Amino acid sequence: MLKDIFMALSENQVLNGAAKKYGLKMGAQHVVAGTNIEETIESIKKLNAMGISCTVDNLGEFVFEKEEALAAKEQIIAVIEAIEKHQVDAHISLKPSQLGLDIDYEFTFNNLKEIVEIAHKYGTFINIDMESTKHLQPSFDILDELSKDYDNVGTVIQAYFYRASEDIQKYKNFRLRIVKGAYKEPAEYAYQTKEEIDKNYVELIEWHLLNGKFTSIATHDHNVINHVKQFIKDNNISNDKFEFQMLYGFRTDMQQQLANEGYNFCTYVPFGQDWYGYFMRRLAERPANMNLVVKQVFNKNTNTMIGLAAGAFALGRITKKRNKRK
């Protein structure tokens, strides 16, 4: 129920607009690296000093106008140029929907091609993030087209999709980030239980570690991490074949510990004013994620958290009423 509420909140455009207006006042400053490029570069430098690389996400949701998509493209290019200028250890993660996938496929492809071409010039890797069902195949199609001319692109495999095992085999020669999945998907397309998703997640990781090019293992779950460590040892897998990934602001002690142990570690660094949808999905994704955020921000943001809880409660009541009417 709580997950459904936060997922619904993440898709609410009115609340998203209010969040942009009032800034990072819901605790999101603890999980967003900055609101502009300068702040974000400083956050990256601090992580690099700890032996941690970064993948940078220019946050953005609900892009239905070409002007917004073009502005996002220019912002991402500016990040690439800042990475080059400051010589920080970082690459780019981006969402095709932010670049126009809900507007026009060819328009989106051209935006992405321009980004990838500039990144290729600097030797910067571009990771194409995967989103909800309606964006999934068009995003893979864009990857297929770009990979004909560029070798600095990769993508994400979401373990909750039934098709994930086929996708990971098709794209085994790409650098892949493997995640459990952060959107609410129907049973028609995706596993619904934690047990099913966790099982498929571990199986995908193991398969790609043995057969793939490079594996980014994106999880905060110490049980999965410990399992992967043992699997790597048992199968003599070289450290240069994989990395662990976590989100900025989550389990920072474990991030440092893994880096200190000699593992490649990459922090997913989101930035920008358009943080609301990302933040809500992180709260909805796993109860543990919400607990981590609440522990960090509750004392400093009591009124905001109470307001958020009240909003969630109200939305829950509305949802119940609608279900009763049905």
Catalytically annotated residues: 129, 177
CB atoms within 10 A of CB 233: 9
| Contact (CB, 8 A) for 180 and 157 | no
Residue 300 in tokens: 């400093």
CA pair distance 30, 77, nearest whole angstrom: 25
C-alpha 125/C-alpha 187 separation (Å) is 34
3-state secondary structure of 214: strand
**Tokens, residue 222:** 């110490």
- Please state, in angstroms and rounded to a whole number, the distance separating the CA atoms of residues 10 and 169: 32
Q: How far apart are CA 178 and CA 314, in angstroms?
A: 35
Residue 214: partners with Cβ closer than 8 Å, 6 or more residues away: 154, 175, 176, 241, 242, 243
For residues 102 and 86, is the Cβ–Cβ distance under 8 A? Answer: no
